[in-house]
Chains A and B, each alone.
Chain A
Amino acid sequence: MSDSQYIEAFTKYLLSGDPSAIEVFCENPSDIKRLAIYRNGFYKGCVDALIANYPMCEKKMGNNNFKKIAKAYVDRFPPEHGTLVGYGLDFPSFITDFINKIKLEEEEPLQSSKSLINTLNLDLKLVDIARLDYTWLMSLMSGDSKETLTIEYVNELIGQEFELTELNVKLNDSVLLVEVSTEAFSEWISLKTNHNTVEKCSPTMNSVMFWRLQGAVQARLLSIAETKLMQSLQGEGSTLGKAFDAALTVDEEFEVSDAFTACLQNELLEISIN
């Protein structure tokens, strides 16, 4: 039997737990149960990675419940690349599908499935918490800024009488926006900071911005105008003038200079070549 047949049989075992195909390759069939070490190692590695990548989600659900849904995720979306860094991109949408599926089952008069949502501590807020976890992780691991727009440089430009509104800028790679419910963000913060009370947020705020400052990831809710500003500066970016105009169109009282100063202090902006 060939090497490829062996790999195929082993793969089948890892994915299904059925050792019948790999058995013929074992020297001593009585040792077949020992194969479980490899399968357990595979699942443990993946589930531990999901715990590391979705820490607040795990905290909210509890370790045992999280492991159950994480294992189901590994079955559905096994890793594809030779690293577990960043594994779990589809986990939030997987939770959504999982909850919706259970809700459909709930329509049937089955008490056991009805209790599953409560048992696993699942609600749609969990999906937002998962999205916050993953965005935080992506911000942490994003590329380092190369051309940060500093206060010193801006002062220099002002000294040269450069029209700042014409300056092309963009957000650095660590600045990421995610739209979640304000309740979910408040709960995520309280989980992260171990505060038991969940603060109420203004309903006018709908986006959360993550960014990395001196190695640590920061997070805050944005107003609608702030969201417009940041969205204008995503990707290739824009001139400062156009970005601030976008914010002013949704809030004519938007404080442009305060926002610009905050952007500089938090090292959010890069000079854009375009």
Chain B
Amino acid sequence: MKVNSLHSPQQFLVGEHLGAGLSLKPEHLDDILVLPVKNSASDNNLWFEVHTENYFVAGGPRLAYLRAIRENYNISFHGVGGSLGADLKVMPAHTKRVKALIDEFQPSLVSEHAVWSKANGKYFADLMPLPRTQDALQSLINGIDCYQSGIGRSILIENPSNYLDFISDMDEPQFLVEAAKRSGCGLLIDINNLYISSKNTGVDALNYLKQIPAELVGEIHIAGHDPDPALGDSLLIDSHAAAVAPPVWDLLEEALNLFGHRPVLVERDANIPSFDELMNERKTAQHYLNQCQLQNNLSTLNKKVTN
């Protein structure tokens, strides 16, 4: 069953009220639970994102903590094991579990990756790249359809980090936009991934962003990266183990100028700093969002004055 006809593009802007969010890490659970509750509303809508598959458990403290956090904060489910690009026969069992979590936690956003990770009954536990061919595009669209049908709502798909180019029929913005338009999903633009791809494969990051229709964008990710231990800065790795780099902040500003106010997530998955340190990074992200909001408001005001 295709769900694209059920969802208008505006569906992806359901998270528009969200401000800057953070990856939810087990190390920070107690810090979050002692935050004043008013923080959620007054601190520019702090929210948290989790990797959906980490909550494929029957019960216990992991779910209990998530329930406690959900009481005061919006959350987003970010899938890493859906394998939208390949091996759809195992998708229903996967989405059944995702749907159960969605039904309970009612996340503001649900996202996945435009990659593959499963084949021949094996799960390769990483985000494997798709060639940007018509054939792979159709597989991805089928995967998104299957996923969206399984969970009963539309999702956002994330652009991958690229380390090398595969023989392709189209560039990545074309590939993702086509997948979104034909499947009814939206896009999650990972600015760090884009920056990494630009350095590793020479893609023009700004031109890339300009090719993405703003109305398709439902969320933005930023994160840190590291140089390859052997090749240095000529090959950047999407480690999520460092602070967000200055050029990524710059690119975020460009993206917000193009797309307008969107939920921005500061991702961190390794080398986890203190919660305060991560909140400071989040504060910077919120500053960019506030600037973007101010510009939007001024622009609206100007239009009213002109009319």
A binds B: yes
Q: Looking at the complex, which one of A25, A81, A85 makes contact with B57 (CB distance below 8 Å)?
A: A85
Q: Does A141 contact B (CB under 8 A)?
A: yes
A267 to B79, CA, bound (A): 35
Stretch at the interface among A29-37, A89-97, A190-198, A225-233: A29-37
- Interface residues in A170-218 by Cβ distance below 8 A to B read 173-174, 212, 215-216
Asked if A83 and B131 make an inter-chain contact with CB atoms under 8 angstroms apart, the answer reads no
Stretch at the interface among B115-123, B271-279, B288-296: B115-123
In the complex, how many angstroms separate the beta carbon of A172 from the nearest chain B beta carbon? 10
Given A7-B86, A42-B126, A45-B126, is A34 in contact with B164 using a C-beta cutoff of 8 Å? yes
Chain B residue nearest to A27 (CB atoms) is B165
Stretch at the interface among A8-16, A62-70, A108-116: A8-16
Q: Which residues on the B side are within 8 Å of A35 (C-beta)? A: 163-164
Q: Looking at the complex, which one of A3, A11, A41 makes contact with B131 (CB distance below 8 Å)?
A: A3
A46 to B74, CA, bound (A): 30
A84 to B123, CA, bound (A): 9
Q: Does B90 contact A (CB under 8 A)?
A: yes
Q: Does A159 contact B (CB under 8 A)?
A: no
Q: Does B210 contact A (CB under 8 A)?
A: no
Given A82-B53, A212-B60, A215-B61, is A42 in contact with B119 using a C-beta cutoff of 8 Å? no
- Chain A CB within 10 Å, residue with most, of B56, B60, B127, B237: B60
Chain B residue nearest to A14 (CB atoms) is B124
Q: Which residues on the B side are within 8 Å of A141 (C-beta)? A: 57-60, 62
Chain A residue nearest to B200 (CB atoms) is A34
- Interface residues in B44-96 by Cβ distance below 8 A to A read 53-54, 56-64, 81-83, 85-86, 90, 93-94
Chain B residue nearest to A139 (CB atoms) is B60
In the complex, how many angstroms separate the beta carbon of B124 from the nearest chain A beta carbon? 5
In the complex, how many angstroms separate the beta carbon of A216 from the nearest chain B beta carbon? 8
Asked if B166 and A25 make an inter-chain contact with CB atoms under 8 angstroms apart, the answer reads yes
Q: Does B3 contact A (CB under 8 A)?
A: no
Chain A residue nearest to B122 (CB atoms) is A78
Q: Does B193 contact A (CB under 8 A)?
A: no
User: How many A residues have CB within 8 A of the partner chain?
Assistant: 43
Asked if B164 and A6 make an inter-chain contact with CB atoms under 8 angstroms apart, the answer reads no
- Interface residues in B11-57 by Cβ distance below 8 A to A read 53-54, 56-57
Asked if B164 and A26 make an inter-chain contact with CB atoms under 8 angstroms apart, the answer reads yes
Q: Does B183 contact A (CB under 8 A)?
A: no
Q: Which residues on the B side are within 8 Å of A173 (C-beta)? A: 58-59
Asked if A82 and B117 make an inter-chain contact with CB atoms under 8 angstroms apart, the answer reads yes
Chain A residue nearest to B168 (CB atoms) is A27
A79 to B118, CA, bound (A): 9
A215 to B62, CA, bound (A): 9
In the complex, how many angstroms separate the beta carbon of B226 from the nearest chain A beta carbon? 12
Asked if B58 and A142 make an inter-chain contact with CB atoms under 8 angstroms apart, the answer reads yes
Q: Looking at the complex, which one of A7, A25, A80, A142 makes contact with B59 (CB distance below 8 Å)?
A: A142
Q: Which residues on the A side are within 8 Å of B54 (C-beta)? A: 83, 85
Asked if A3 and B121 make an inter-chain contact with CB atoms under 8 angstroms apart, the answer reads no
Asked if B129 and A38 make an inter-chain contact with CB atoms under 8 angstroms apart, the answer reads yes
Q: Does B108 contact A (CB under 8 A)?
A: no
A143 to B83, CA, bound (A): 27
Asked if B116 and A46 make an inter-chain contact with CB atoms under 8 angstroms apart, the answer reads no
Q: Looking at the complex, which one of A31, A81, A174 makes contact with B123 (CB distance below 8 Å)?
A: A81
A79 to B87, CA, bound (A): 14
Asked if B123 and A3 make an inter-chain contact with CB atoms under 8 angstroms apart, the answer reads no
Q: Looking at the complex, which one of B82, B85, B126, B235 makes contact with A34 (CB distance below 8 Å)?
A: B235
Q: Does B128 contact A (CB under 8 A)?
A: yes
A81 to B83, CA, bound (A): 10
- Interface residues in B197-248 by Cβ distance below 8 A to A read 200, 228, 235, 237
In the complex, how many angstroms separate the beta carbon of A152 from the nearest chain B beta carbon? 22
Q: Does B106 contact A (CB under 8 A)?
A: no
Q: Looking at the complex, which one of B62, B90, B135 makes contact with A3 (CB distance below 8 Å)?
A: B135
Asked if A83 and B53 make an inter-chain contact with CB atoms under 8 angstroms apart, the answer reads yes
A86 to B139, CA, bound (A): 29
Asked if B163 and A34 make an inter-chain contact with CB atoms under 8 angstroms apart, the answer reads yes
Q: Which residues on the B side are within 8 Å of A84 (C-beta)? A: 53, 125
Q: Which residues on the B side are within 8 Å of A15 (C-beta)? A: 122
Q: Which residues on the B side are within 8 Å of A80 (C-beta)? A: 121-123
Q: Does A28 contact B (CB under 8 A)?
A: yes
A38 to B166, CA, bound (A): 14
In the complex, how many angstroms separate the beta carbon of A173 from the nearest chain B beta carbon? 7
Q: Does A118 contact B (CB under 8 A)?
A: no
Question: A128-145 toward B: CB 8 Å interface, digit per residue (1/0)?
Answer: 000000000000111110
Chain B residue nearest to A78 (CB atoms) is B122
- Chain B CB within 10 Å, residue with most, of A37, A82, A86, A212: A82
Top 10 closest A-B pairs, CB basis? A82-B81, A144-B59, A83-B53, A41-B126, A27-B165, A143-B58, A45-B125, A31-B164, A3-B135, A141-B57
Please list 7 pairs of residues, one from A and one from B, whose beta carbons are closer than 8 Å in the complex, sorted by A's number: A3-B139, A7-B119, A82-B81, A82-B82, A144-B63, A174-B59, A212-B60
Residues of B within 8 A of A (CB): 53-54, 56-64, 81-83, 85-86, 90, 93-94, 116-131, 133, 135-136, 138-139, 163-168, 200, 228, 235, 237
Q: A41-B127, A85-B56 given. 15 additional CB < 8 A pairs?
A: A6-B131, A7-B119, A14-B128, A25-B131, A27-B165, A27-B168, A35-B163, A37-B235, A42-B126, A49-B125, A82-B82, A144-B63, A174-B60, A215-B61, A216-B61
